[in-house]
Amino acid sequence: MAVDASYDGVRIENEMTQEFIDDMIERFKNGKKIHRKYVFQIIKAVKDLVYAEPTMVEIGVEQDHRLTVCGDTHGQFFDLLEIFRLNGYPTDTHAYLFNGDFVDRGSWSTEIALLLYAYKWLRPNGIFLNRGNHETDDMNKVYGFEGECRAKYNETVFKVFSESFSALPLATLIGDKYLVLHGGLFSDDKITLDDIRKLNRHNQRQPGQQGLMMEMLWTDPQTEPGRGPSKRGVGLQFGPDITKRFCENNGLEAIIRSHEVRMEGYEVEHDGRCITVFSAPKYCDSTENKGAFIKIGPELKLEYQVFDAVPHPDIKPMSSSSGDIPPGMMRHGSSPNVTCVR
């Protein structure tokens, strides 16, 4: 695929550059696209990188380094840029972990996915990406990402994004203390970190309606002990006793998850053992929630930073959605209590 001479952006050959990323950010802010050849190059490079990573990536925070954990960003590109403005862009000493749901709902999902992927290609150990329940085909067909790929690029771009999503790790273990996964815990108390390590995610491209992968992407905490049915129509809810047992059995201090709006951007539940972080403020332009992210240094202490939404061009959320709800899945896949503006 040739890039025609009239293309006015920075070009790349066989490797990503910071110059290309800086130019791409400005293009996206101004409503412009990058050339389709570069889209394919970025996705292919990152698919190969994440495919080679384990199902549960295990990382630490070295001296003079830091790590930032972000929750759902859901196509809110200008709010992602606000995170980077407040907290710094990814560097060799400042890594980011994005805990799924980069896409759908917001109308700049391709921009978010391409920016995160470009940084992953530039600095493979400077950005880590967990899969969320919206990095899946059935959700993308309904909540806007497939339609956005078609409108801005073409159907093939969606298909290669889909392949890359199915290659993403499902969890990240930070310093043997915090398990970060998009949804939450399991229907079986016997599940251990080793079960996650052994899960071959490459044999199952989509999470389906049951099993370990589905539970990691879809479950939610509840205040009552034990387990309960999910309000979403898929997955389940788990109580503080479930979280306590899992953390004790696996030597963890807490789990960090996303998947649900929190009005203050984050919430610490289950006696401090279950932490939800959500990084899409003013979600879908219809909820007056703040966003948050978690800063972690070498001592592995958690510092929460809350931020507000920033202005964006007047394009409505879910402008590319189809509205056809997959069987067995409730309409509002990120929180049972939030309705998105169509």
Per-residue pLDDT of the chain (342 residues; tens, 9 = 90+): 899 999 999 999 999 999 999 999 999 999 999 999 999 999 999 999 999 999 999 999 999 999 999 999 999 999 999 999 999 999 999 999 999 999 999 999 999 999 999 999 999 999 999 999 999 999 999 999 999 999 999 999 999 999 999 999 999 999 999 999 999 999 999 999 999 999 999 998 899 999 999 999 999 999 999 999 999 999 999 999 999 999 999 999 999 999 999 999 999 999 999 999 999 999 999 999 999 999 999 999 999 999 999 999 999 887 776 655 444 444 344 443 334 432
- How big is the chain, counted in residues? 342
For the chain, strand residue ranges (E) read: 56-59, 66-70, 94-99, 127-130, 171-174, 178-181, 220-221, 227-229, 236-238, 254-257, 266-269, 274-277, 291-296, 302-307
Rg of the chain's alpha carbons, rounded to an integer?
A: 19
Count of CB atoms within 10 A of residue 23's CB? 18
Q: Count CA within 13 A, CB hemisphere, residue 250.
A: 27
Give the SS3 label for residue 31.
coil
Give the SS3 label for residue 197.
helix
Phi-psi region of 211 (alpha: psi -120 to 50; beta: other; left: phi over 0): left
Among all residues, which ones are annotated catalytic?
A: 134
Give me the residue label for tokens 């290309």: 20
pTM of the model: 0.94
The terminus-to-terminus CA distance of the chain in angstroms comes to 36
CATH code of the region 33-307: 3.60.21.10
Please classify residue 303 by burial: count the beta carbons closer than 10 Å to its beta carbon, then call 0-12 exposed, 13-18 middle and 19+ buried. Answer: exposed
What CA–CA distance (Å, rounded) separates 20 from 10?
A: 5
